[in-house]
Amino acid sequence: MEGGFTGKEAYQQHFNPKDYLGVHLPFGSGSTPACEALFSFVLQKLHKAFLLSSIRGDTLIDIGSGPSIYQLLSACESFKEIIATDFLEQNREELQKWLKKDPEAFDWSPMVKYVCQLKGNRKKWMEKEETLRRTVKQVLKCDVTLANPFHPLVVPPADCVLSTFCLEAACQDLPTYRSAVRNVGSLVKPGGHLIFAVFTEETFYMVGPHRFSCLYLTKDRVEEAMKEAGFCIRWSEMASAHLPPEIADAQHVAVLVAQKQC
């Protein structure tokens, strides 16, 4: 796996959800300060998108959920239904553990409390968890390199499609990335929204002992791909990543909110 593009088979064989969560997603006690700062920024911007910018509707599709739920914490109060998705079976299984309250599931409560604090009431974190569990109606397999990422299933277009740190890991080059943005964008209704959280200027990240490749992107390249897919950028914000080199080499994180042209 050293060097070159990390393909689907390598992910299926070597991506361990617990290793990923243990390094990248701890919040509070035991966390890496740079990772905590990075995900605090993302949670703040998703709060802005869903609760302050009033992006809402019937259905949200989360593309490349991984084993994670943090990205859905603000969205779950703005949509009646959330469809979580990922290419890897082990990630979908890990996500289902949390949804089913499996005792071995990852503890997301520090992040849930943080998001509740953004809204002004940290004590309602258990209600937030239950709201999210009720709102996630399906966990599906997806492949962003396919024209229909859910092939052979056909999923109706959604009011919003969200994707955090997925496409840059799934695409080997810029043409493939632009195609993947079009594929994901096709799942959005006219007038609906596409929201990305993206690592920029990154070439790799680590999960346990395994190194996974990332497509080197800039915020401008992401915006260009979204525009080519038929979206206009409503707003975007960026922050420095400052990740330790033993975790990843991303220089920045960007959150972009775009609307599909009617």
Residue 91 assigned ligand-binding role: yes
Stronger pLDDT, 58 or 26, i.e. the higher one:
58
Q: List pLDDT tens digits, range 29-79.
A: 667 888 899 999 999 999 999 988 889 999 999 999 999 999 999 999 999
Contact residues for 101 (Cβ-Cβ < 8 A; gap 6+): 133
Rounded mean pLDDT, 94-104: 97
Domain ranges of the chain: 8-260
Q: What's the pLDDT score for residue 27?
A: 80
Q: Which band of pLDDT confidence, cut at 50, 70 and 90, is reported for residue 93?
A: very high
Q: What's the pLDDT score for residue 1?
A: 47
pTM over 0.85: yes
Residue 183 assigned ligand-binding role: no
Query: DSSP labels for 62-122?
Result: EET-TT--GGGTTGGGTEEEEEEEES-HHHHHHHHHHHTT-TTS---HHHHHHHHHHHT-G
Residue 143 assigned ligand-binding role: yes
- Is the peptide bond prior to 152 cis by the omega test (within 30 degrees of 0)? yes
- pLDDT, mean over the chain: 95
Q: How far separated are the first and last CA of the chain, in Å rounded?
A: 43
Q: List pLDDT tens digits, range 236-252.
A: 999 999 899 999 999 99
Residue 30 assigned ligand-binding role: no
Q: Which band of pLDDT confidence, cut at 50, 70 and 90, is reported for residue 205?
A: very high
Residue among 161, 243, 238, 221 at smallest CA distance from 196: 161
Contact residues for 158 (Cβ-Cβ < 8 A; gap 6+): 57, 58, 59, 60, 61, 83, 187, 188, 189, 192
Residue 148 assigned ligand-binding role: no
Residue among 120, 141, 216 at smallest CA distance from 173: 216
Place of tokens 């920024």: 41
Taking every pair of C-alpha atoms in the chain, what is the biggest distance, in angstroms? 46
The hierarchical CATH code for the domain 8-260 is 3.40.50.150
Residue 177 assigned ligand-binding role: no
Residue 232 tokens read as 């206009």
β-partners of residue 162 are 62, 195
Q: List pLDDT tens digits, range 106-147.
A: 999 999 999 999 988 888 999 999 999 999 999 999 999 999
Rounded mean pLDDT, 149-177: 97
Residue 216 assigned ligand-binding role: no
* 69, amino acid identity: I
Residue 114 assigned ligand-binding role: no
